[in-house]
Amino acid sequence: MANGAKYITILRDPWSQFKSSFSFFNWAHVVEEAIGNTTHHLEKFLNNPGRFYKWQNAPIHKQYMRNFMSFDLGLPLHQYDDVNAIVRFVNMIEKDFDLVMLLEYFDESLILLKRLLCWKLEDILYLKINQRKKLTPVQSNAEQLYRHFSQADYTLYEHFAAIIQRRMSESPGLHEEVAYFREINLEYLLFCKQASRNESLLFEVDRSNWNLKFTLDVSYCTKSRLYILHYVDQLKRTRYGIGTETPTRKPFYWHI
């Protein structure tokens, strides 16, 4: 990377992440493969994870059952239960990254990102897509079991939760800017819903303490709905002339 590059990542509450992934990847079948047709798959998995497979020999998608975020950021599997190694790893991440965002403070994180990169307000407008709608109830002790099972991710998350809360408290006017941003972003969502029926509409935002006046058309909404792999492909084609997807593959757009 060029000198002066900023390094950014984002974390999510580990328990929320695990429940979502357990459902999305249909990991219930891992439990049923071992013990047959049953119920309360998530709890049965957490009561005895080692019964279902060994981590060192697991395929990549199953390695994501444990310490998702630490795995992505480079913690080796053999250090998952090494407390000292986990602490060194977390300190290394703090040193390497200029900003670690949190999903649970997403809007606040975006404002910190905007300030760090000197972005404009229109650069951080977003639409919520691909949200999990069905929540499966779990037993009360399940999260504590997962905390023990995925201690690296909890150490990582709680460390940066404290940091981002401190950064928020030390950033002048942040709460006021976040409140304004949420108002504009809600208007942007309503505009995109209307623009899906009338593509001639424009989204106009007046000057404020946090932005210059700007106008967007429906193409901005279209980009906000683009499937991430196709977005990255278009970005690479625009910047470098080489994409990752075949040109004949039709882009996928999420509904809002």
Give pLDDT tens digits for 60-92.
656 678 899 999 999 998 899 999 999 999 999
Q: What is the pLDDT of residue 238?
A: 87
Q: What is the pLDDT of residue 121?
A: 98
Which three-class secondary structure string do you get for 4-39? CCCCEEEECCHHHHHHHHHHHCCCHHHHHHHHCCCC
**Is residue 76 in some structural domain?**
yes
Q: Percent of the chain at pLDDT above 90?
A: 61
Task: Name the least confident of 94-103, 140-149, 206-215.
Answer: 140-149
**Is residue 89 in some structural domain?**
yes
**Is residue 68 in some structural domain?**
yes
Residue 33: give the domain boundaries. 8-172
Q: What angle do CA 128, 131, 135 make, to 5 degrees?
A: 145
| Alpha-carbon distances of 54 from 51, 77, 175, 220, rounded to whole Å | 8, 11, 46, 45
- Taking the model in full, what pTM does it have? 0.89
34 pLDDT band (50/70/90 cuts)? Answer: confident
Give pLDDT tens digits for 98-117.
999 999 999 999 999 999 99
**Is residue 138 in some structural domain?**
yes
**Is residue 47 in some structural domain?**
yes
Q: What is the mean pLDDT of residues 114-141?
A: 86
Which helix (H) or strand (E) segment holds residue 254: the answer is none
**Is residue 61 in some structural domain?**
yes
Which helix (H) or strand (E) segment holds residue 62: the answer is helix 60-63
Q: Give the number of domains in the chain.
A: 1
The DSSP line for 172-210 is TTHHHHHHHHHHHHHHHHHHHHHHTT-TT--EEE--BTT
Which helix (H) or strand (E) segment holds residue 9: the answer is strand 8-11
**Is residue 3 in some structural domain?**
no
Q: What is the pLDDT of residue 87?
A: 98
**CA 48 – CA 45 distance, rounded (Å):** 6
**CA 205 – CA 42 distance, rounded (Å):** 46
CB contact at 8 A, 80 and 67: yes
Mean pLDDT of the chain: 90
**Is residue 99 in some structural domain?**
yes
Q: What is the pLDDT of residue 48?
A: 86
Q: What is the pLDDT of residue 59?
A: 63
The SS3 call for residue 226 is: strand
Contacts of 197 (CB under 8 A, 6+ apart): none
